[in-house]
């Protein structure tokens, strides 16, 4: 069993080499690359004996969830404040390489009873934090490249982990997360806040109740013009996101659009992602902007403008149910924000963007405002009814961040399975490196690893109607 899993991990790493450095790949695979790919795909279809199934796993309940935060530059800092508003949470530590960021995050704690120690200045300060025996959950909001490394270390030291998106940037790291979570029986939760947005939760419940009929096709995206921020020193530590876009060509940020769709399609719970193909436009704006700035700023002279990620990536994914997914990524051209969130079934249709979200039951027109309101009253899930309004008041991307954090804590305090487990973290995040490989190899299809090792066929869907739990209060001061 272990030998087979390690062999697959090595093959995944081999594939990852081509994905991490697509600029070094030819547009068509060389014969030796074709041979390696064939072996990878053959191994990907092999059934392996499972170690432990984390899908539906309920870890022992924690009356108090003791949390440590790693990375408090942007999202992590806001998460500190949100978590301090949730009953049964005790913030034990705050860590960032910049002490001023850690101090500022600690200052955002709004409730009493926390003893947050600051870990800062040293790049590996997070390791000391993970080694403490009085922490239950490590909440990771660093730059992408550190997510998997910190998560594996934390789980190996007995901690549950909550990971900002994407959970990993290589196929190998996705497997490491899965294998470590199974071995340690510690949750590895992907912090995909869009799964808790209001229209997405409505369409998820509609799908669960059969409103759409059979799902034929879904679309998701991350279309967000943040080009200028890539080149702003204060926006992200050490220009880390610019560096990601300067060496990787694919869908680097897939989970905002993909996560809610995967839940609707019951991915890893009766269905799975099978294979994908990906295509990227050329770069029309990232390289030119770097070239222009380099004329007056030496920091941007080190970038090879010819290697920047193509502006628009479009990936197509086929699922075991026969449903298809179209997924897009563009963060560098001027266009209105959109995650699309389209669900097309044999009985009904929904699309969120352009706002407001709309639903149709035929080809003639969308439901009227009053009809949609009736639908919402009938199908809005219990999690929204319970904390939706207070989550909106507290904020965090319109309230979805607050619902995400509250739901995680409520699951841990009640000993419930988490909504988004390690298999979701891996299968949603792996689209990044797989799309890179496909782009680099003339949009050839590549199989998506089955991180559940075949157990997706028996795994059950998660509960969004609070049939259990839901008893954690929010401190709204």
In the prediction, which pLDDT does 418 show? Answer: 96
From the candidate CATH numbers 3.40.50.10860, 3.30.1330.40, 3.40.50.2020, 3.30.360.10, the one assigned to the domain spanning 195-382+422-457: 3.30.360.10
pLDDT over 90 at 37, yes or no: no
Arithmetic mean of pLDDT over the chain: 91
In the prediction, which pLDDT does 306 show? Answer: 85
From CA 350, how far away is CA 200, in angstroms rounded?
Answer: 10
Q: What is the tens place of the pLDDT at every residue in 368-417?
A: 999 999 999 999 999 999 999 999 999 899 999 999 999 999 999 999 99
pTM above 0.85, yes or no: yes
Q: Which residue, 437, 272, 256, is CA-closest to 352?
A: 256
Q: What is the tens place of the pLDDT at every residue in 39-72?
A: 544 544 444 466 899 999 999 999 999 999 999 9
In the prediction, which pLDDT does 49 show? Answer: 62
From CA 116, how far away is CA 127, in angstroms rounded?
Answer: 16
Q: How confident is the model at residue 472 (pLDDT cuts 50, 70, 90)?
A: very high
SS3 (DSSP) at 90: strand
Q: What is the mean pLDDT of residues 196-203?
A: 98
Q: What is the mean pLDDT of residues 272-296?
A: 97
Sheet holding 446-447, edge to edge: 358-360, 349-351, 342-345, 215-223, 324-330, 313-319, 273-280, 446-447
Stated length of the chain: 477
In the prediction, which pLDDT does 476 show? Answer: 73
CA dihedral 110, 256, 423, 324 (to 10 degrees): 160
Q: Is the dihedral of CA 302, 304, 307, 309 positive or negative?
A: positive
Q: What is the mean pLDDT of residues 287-299?
A: 96
In the prediction, which pLDDT does 51 show? Answer: 86
In the prediction, which pLDDT does 74 show? Answer: 87
- Cβ-in-10-Å burial (0-12, 13-18, 19+) of 204 comes to buried
Share of the chain above pLDDT 90, in %: 84
- Cβ-in-10-Å burial (0-12, 13-18, 19+) of 348 comes to buried
From CA 324, how far away is CA 18, in angstroms rounded?
Answer: 26
Residues 257 and 166 sit within 8 Å (Cβ to Cβ): no
Q: State the DSSP string of 139-190.
A: EE-S-GGGHHHHHHHHHHTT-EEEEPSSS-SSHHHHHHHHHHHHHHT--EEE
pLDDT over 90 at 17, yes or no: no
In the prediction, which pLDDT does 100 show? Answer: 96
Share of the chain above pLDDT 70, in %: 89
Q: What is the tens place of the pLDDT at every residue in 425-440?
A: 999 999 999 999 999 9
Sheet holding 188-190, edge to edge: 117-120, 89-96, 65-70, 137-140, 160-163, 188-190
pLDDT over 80 at 1, yes or no: no
In the prediction, which pLDDT does 466 show? Answer: 81
pLDDT over 70 at 14, yes or no: no
- φ, ψ dihedrals at 56, nearest 5°: 80, 5
Residues 431 and 327 sit within 8 Å (Cβ to Cβ): yes
- φ, ψ dihedrals at 359, nearest 5°: -135, 140
C-alpha distances (whole Å) from 47 to each of 5, 19, 139, 172, 319 are 10, 24, 33, 18, 18
443-470 burial string, b = 16+ CB within 10 Å, else e? Answer: bbbbbbbbbbbebbeebebbbbebeebb
Which is higher by pLDDT, 74 or 428?
428
In the prediction, which pLDDT does 30 show? Answer: 39
From CA 69, how far away is CA 66, in angstroms rounded?
Answer: 10
pLDDT over 80 at 19, yes or no: no
CA 423 to chain centre: 11
In the prediction, which pLDDT does 39 show? Answer: 53
Residues 321 and 269 sit within 8 Å (Cβ to Cβ): no
- Cβ-in-10-Å burial (0-12, 13-18, 19+) of 245 comes to buried
pLDDT over 60 at 342, yes or no: yes
Helix (H) or strand (E) holding 389: helix 382-394
Domain boundaries, the chain: 195-382+422-457
Q: What is the tens place of the pLDDT at every residue in 143-188?
A: 999 999 999 999 999 999 999 999 999 999 999 999 999 999 999 9
pLDDT over 70 at 189, yes or no: yes
């Amino acid at each position: 069993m272990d030998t087979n899993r390690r062999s697959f991990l090595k093959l995944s790493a081999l594939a990852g080499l081509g994905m991490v450095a697509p600029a070094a790949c030819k547009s068509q695979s060389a014969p030796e690359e074709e041979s390696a790919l064939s072996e990878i795909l053959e191994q990907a279809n092999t059934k392996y004996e499972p170690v432990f199934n984390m899908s539906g796993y309920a870890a022992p309940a924690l009356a108090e969830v003791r949390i440590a935060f790693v990375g408090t530059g942007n999202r992590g800092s806001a998460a500190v404040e949100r978590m301090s508003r949730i009953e049964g949470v005790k913030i034990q530590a705050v860590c960032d390489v910049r002490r001023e960021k850690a101090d500022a995050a600690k200052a955002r704690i709004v409730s009493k009873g926390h003893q947050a120690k600051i870990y800062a200045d040293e790049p590996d300060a997070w390791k000391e934090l993970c080694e403490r025996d009085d922490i239950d959950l490590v909440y990771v909001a660093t730059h992408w490249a550190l997510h998997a490394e910190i998560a594996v270390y934390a789980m190996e030291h007995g901690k549950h982990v909550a990971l900002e998106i994407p959970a990993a940037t290589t196929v190998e790291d996705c497997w490491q997360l899965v294998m470590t979570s199974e071995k340690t029986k510690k949750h590895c939760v992907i912090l995909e806040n869009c799964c808790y947005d209001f229209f997405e939760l409505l369409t998820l419940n509609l799908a669960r109740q059969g409103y759409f009929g059979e799902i034929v096709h879904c679309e998701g995206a991350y279309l967000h013009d943040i080009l200028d921020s890539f080149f702003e020193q204060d926006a992200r530590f050490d220009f880390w996101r610019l560096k990601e876009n300067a060496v990787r060509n694919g869908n680097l940020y897939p989970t905002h659009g993909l996560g809610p769709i995967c839940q609707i399609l019951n991915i890893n719970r009766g269905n799975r992602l099978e294979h994908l193909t990906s295509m990227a436009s050329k770069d029309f704006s990232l390289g030119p902007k770097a070239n222009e700035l380099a004329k007056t700023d030496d920091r941007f002279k080190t970038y090879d403008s010819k290697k920047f990620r193509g502006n628009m990536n479009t990936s197509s994914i086929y699922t075991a149910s026969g449903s298809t997914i179209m997924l897009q990524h563009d963060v560098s051209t001027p266009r209105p924000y959109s995650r699309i969130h389209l669900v097309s079934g044999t009985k009904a249709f929904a699309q969120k963007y352009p706002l407001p979200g709309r639903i149709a039951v035929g080809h003639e027109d969308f439901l009227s405002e009053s009809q949609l309101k009736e639908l919402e009253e009938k199908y809005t899930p219990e999690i929204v009814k319970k904390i939706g309004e207070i989550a909106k008041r507290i904020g965090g991307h319109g309230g979805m961040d607050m619902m995400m954090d509250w739901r995680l804590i409520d699951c841990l305090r009640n000993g419930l399975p988490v909504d988004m487990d390690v298999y979701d973290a891996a299968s949603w995040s792996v689209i990044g490196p797989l799309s890179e490989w496909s782009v680099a190899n003339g949009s050839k299809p590549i199989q998506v690893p089955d991180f559940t090792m075949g157990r997706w066929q028996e795994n059950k869907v998660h509960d969004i109607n609070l049939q259990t739990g839901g008893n954690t209060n929010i401190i709204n001061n």
